[in-house]
Structure 1
Amino acid sequence: MPRENYQKRLDELRADVVAMGELVGERYASAIEAAATGDDALAEEVIEGDYEVNETYLALEDECTELLALQQPVAGDLRLVTSSFKVITDLERVADLATNLAGYGGPDGGVHPAVEFRELGEDAGEMVADAVAAYEAGDAEACREIAARDDDFDERCRRASEAVVRELLEADRARNEGAPDETGADADAEALEASLDEVSRALLAVRDLERVADHAVNVAARTLYMVENDDELIY
């Protein structure tokens, strides 16, 4: 293959990875909106649209494999191709998490009053978008900055999970301190079941948001390796 055509394919691969990142970002933003508002129709749209991300991933996987097999790239070109393969894998997993997140909204909208779900969700999405932008620009410093942000995000997720469990325990304590009659027992049981369901959805949502941020760090780590041959963020 002539050098010009080979370089064009490398450039197109990079552009296609960025386009996949934008597609995943759109799906993810819709998922956060669906969960924050309890919009079942939007949640279903996110879930049904996941096939588009999967098809994009498979096409890019084939391109990476072909470039490795036929062109046998070395040095910086090899890091570009292998890092791009890792990046699309993380983006595909963010899209999978988006399908989970879309369904966590309660019947009255929102996830749980103790969780700042929209804020956390938007911040995790911003980390992914910034990681893709760093990949596109080859910005090593941005990669390190994204990794540093993850520590704070993990702490916020920990506090959110603790707040959810604390509210559950306080509500259960309040119920036990009351003295309901027999007619109120069934209502208390139903309230407890609803509360447990809400808590379960909230804890799963926080867990998945933390994973989204982790995938952003993975994208940044592979980008740093691609740009500077530095594996300090890879773990």
Structure 2
Amino acid sequence: MAREDYRESLDRLRADVESMAETVLTQLRRALTALEDGDEALAQAVIDGDDVVNDRYLDLEGDCIDLLALQQPVASDLRFVAASFKILTDLERIGDLATNLAEYALADDEGAFSEIDISGIGEDVCEQVRAAVDAYVADDADACRTIAARDDEIDALCQHASEAVVRELIAREVDAWDVERLLDDVSRVLLTIRDVERIGDHAVNVAARTYYMVENDPALLY
């Protein structure tokens, strides 16, 4: 491969990772909307769209392997390809978690615990993912540090939301016949909060890999 073609391949990989991130973010926002609005059709569309994300992930993973095997990049190019490979995995997992959220939306036919502000936390998490992808595209190490630092805020929001669910469960007067249904609702809401938090963790992973790629510093990886 000529040197110009090699550089074009690296540039194309960065653009392709960004494009996959846009698809995943669309899936995530649609899943959160489905949860908020109880939109079953939208939730099903997210579930059906997961195959597209998975196929794109496998294609780009193959591109990374080809670059590593055939071009044997060194120094900053090696860090870039390796970071892109890892970031693609995080994006694919975010897509899987968006699918989980859509499945929870389908299961929630009565808006259980609707007062819990999952959509607000979800918007914060979407901003984290967006910022992490932008940092990757721009080689922005400063943004990576900001994203990692903000993760504690999102963790706290998720913890408070989970605690609010438990407090409401304790306070409710429930007919014995409704206990099983209520426990199903509680489990689903807690899983929803957990998965939103995990999406935030994947955004931090993207930022950490980008920081290592740019600065050759693993500080944010641990």
State the Cα deviation string for residues 109-138 of structure 1 (Å, max 9, x = none): 4x5234201101111111111100100001
Residue number in structure 1 paired with 2:123: 122
Residue number in structure 2 paired with 1:215: 202
1:227 to 202, 214, 217: 214
State the Cα deviation string for residues 176-221 of structure 1 (Å, max 9, x = none): xxxxxxxxxxxx1233233222211110000000100000000000
Cα contact 1:35–1:103 (8 A) shared by 2? no
**Cα distance in 1, alignment partners of residues 40 and 114 from structure 2:** 19
Count of aligned pairs: 220
1:137-216 pair list within 5 angstroms: 137-171=138-172, 174-175=173-174, 188-216=175-203
Stretches of 4+ aligned residues off by more than 4 angstroms? none
TM-score, normalisation: structure 1: 0.91
Identity %, equivalent residues: 57
1:1-235 pair list within 5 angstroms: 1-105=1-105, 106-109=108-111, 112-171=113-172, 174-175=173-174, 188-235=175-222
For structure 1, the residue ranges without an aligned partner over 5 or more in a row are 176-187
**Which stretch of the first structure deviates more once superposed, 191-200 or 38-47?**
191-200
Larger Rg over CA atoms:
1
After TM superposition, give the deviation of residue 139 of structure 1 in Å: 0.4
**Cα distance in 1, alignment partners of residues 11 and 133 from structure 2:** 15
TM-score, normalisation: structure 2: 0.96
DSSP-derived class of the 2:27 partner: helix
Cα contact 1:114–1:163 (8 A) shared by 2? no
**Cα distance in 2, alignment partners of residues 210 and 115 from structure 1:** 14
For structure 2, the residue ranges without an aligned partner over 5 or more in a row are none
DSSP-derived class of the 1:136 partner: helix
